[in-house]
Amino acid sequence: MTTHNTSDFNTITVPSAAATDTDFDKLDEIGFDESDQAERPITEEARLWWFNGLPTDSDTMAVGWHIKYGINPYIDETCEGMGLQKYFVQHKKPDKDGNTDPKPYWRLRQCNLVVVTQRLQSTLEMNRNVEDRMGLAYAWETVRDEMGNPVLNKRGKEKRQTVLKARVFVHELYSHGYYNWLPLTLSGFSTDSMLEALGEQYRVLDYYAGLRRAQGKNAVAPFWLFSIPLGPGQVKLVGEPPDQGSIYPITAKIPATLDKDYLKQHLIPRDLIDIIRDGLLSETVLWSMEESVKLASGRNGQGELLALPDGASETAPSGPRSLPSGDENDLQVSAKQLEWIVSQYCGGSDETVREICAHFKVAEPSQLRVSHFRALVAQVQAANKNAQR
């Protein structure tokens, strides 16, 4: 035993004995439960992936929707409980760390997606103005190699490809207890097939509206009210030689003849309706505007593996794109930003609009600035985060 003298008191160190088997046995008396379990840190964002026929360690090619295994224990537990197949997938290109080892994935192949967007826009609409977005981020970007250098086509010009990003809930996962949305990124020819497949949702919405009108009830149907069954179609060649590849186009597995049973099967839960309406939709619309500008201006930089076959690319439309220039805070709000402020933030209330104008010291809504828009966005995002705590 050692005594240490100080000016005020003595401290005595007493070496303790090492733990014994008896000490471990006594831990049972404490009664730890699942809430005490130390969970591993999540170091990678869980996302939904689309594969166009990659080799695996099984007799099945990786085609369709997948989720990476081992990065989110809640997803792994849910997928395992659903009895989904798990296998290792060999990517064609190294990951961001230069690793070429096969990666483990859960195989969904086909699933029902709840796409968080106010409505579907055509490429004609979205190519006119990169800030005109309603929930889906979409833009043209330069194709780059593993080193980040632009890839050139046979004419010596930079290859361009379309990129589509979305926030989606997987209906099956939600029904089995996983309640978070997943990010989804597609590129190249897969974006066209995805947009075409999403367009089939309007057949469902029209059918639903017809039933409701016949009953004398409210026939309004948000785009996300019913999940969309999406899976791979027949493989097809895309691009031009020598830059030709093959893809499995994303197709909507919606029956030609709809009935009420289909609506019942794909109607999303009431609590998910509330989640989307109570802030997620507005936040996603704002995100889609900002993310589209980032993509178009080359500020994506997330190092994602996209659903694009090697060598397949497209030609970007000619003509100017509406990109912000100069100090963004000195610009007036765009039409879409103003629409969000009036319809989403102010709820269409003229009185609230006047209050917002008075707060920012402008005479009318059209004089609001981008800095004002961003301040309102930050307020909504902060409110959403607080509500989730």
The model's pLDDT over 106-121, given as tens digits with 9 standing for 90+, comes to: 999 999 999 999 999 9
Rounded to an integer, what distance in angstroms lies between the CA atom of residue 195 and that of residue 200?
9
Instruction: Indicate whether 343 pLDDT > 70.
Output: yes
- The Cα–Cα gap between 341 and 352 comes to 10
Domains identified in the chain, total number? 3
Picking from 82, 111, 140, the residue at the C-terminal end of a domain is: 111
Domain assignment present for 288: yes
Q: Answer yes or no: do 285 and 255 share one domain.
A: yes
What's the CA dihedral at 44, 48, 54, 56 to 10 degrees? 60
Domain of residue 336: give its range: 328-388
Q: Please, is 329 exposed, middle or buried when counting C-beta atoms within 10 Å of its C-beta (0-12, 13-18, 19+)?
A: exposed
Burial class (CB in 10 A: 0-12, 13-18, 19+), 241: exposed
28 found inside a domain: no
Tokens 């005479």 label which residue? 363
Model confidence pLDDT, tens digit, residues 144-181: 776 678 888 777 788 888 999 999 999 999 999 999 99
6-60 pLDDT, tens digit per residue, is 555 566 777 777 888 888 888 888 888 877 878 777 778 999 999 999 999 999 9
Residue 378 lies in a domain: yes
Same structural domain, 130 and 230: yes
Instruction: Determine the pLDDT at residue 319.
Output: 38
* 112 backbone dihedrals φ, ψ, rounded to 5°: -100, 115
Q: What would the two tokens of residue 117 be? A: 């967007």
pLDDT of residue 318: 41
Examine residue 360 and state whether it is found in any structural domain, yes or no. yes
Choice between 301 and 75, residue whose per-residue pLDDT is larger: 75
Per 3-state DSSP, the chain is made up of helix, strand and coil in percentages (nearest 5) of 35, 25, 40
Whether the Cβ atoms of residue 113 and residue 169 lie closer than 8 Å to each other: yes
Residues 64 and 125 in one domain: no
N-term to C-term CA, the chain: 50
In this structure, are 78 and 66 located in the same domain? yes
* Percent of the chain predicted with pLDDT > 90: 51
* Tokens encoding 58: 């099984």
Kindly state whether residue 2 falls inside one of the protein's structural domains: no
Omega before residue 232 within 30° of 0, cis: no
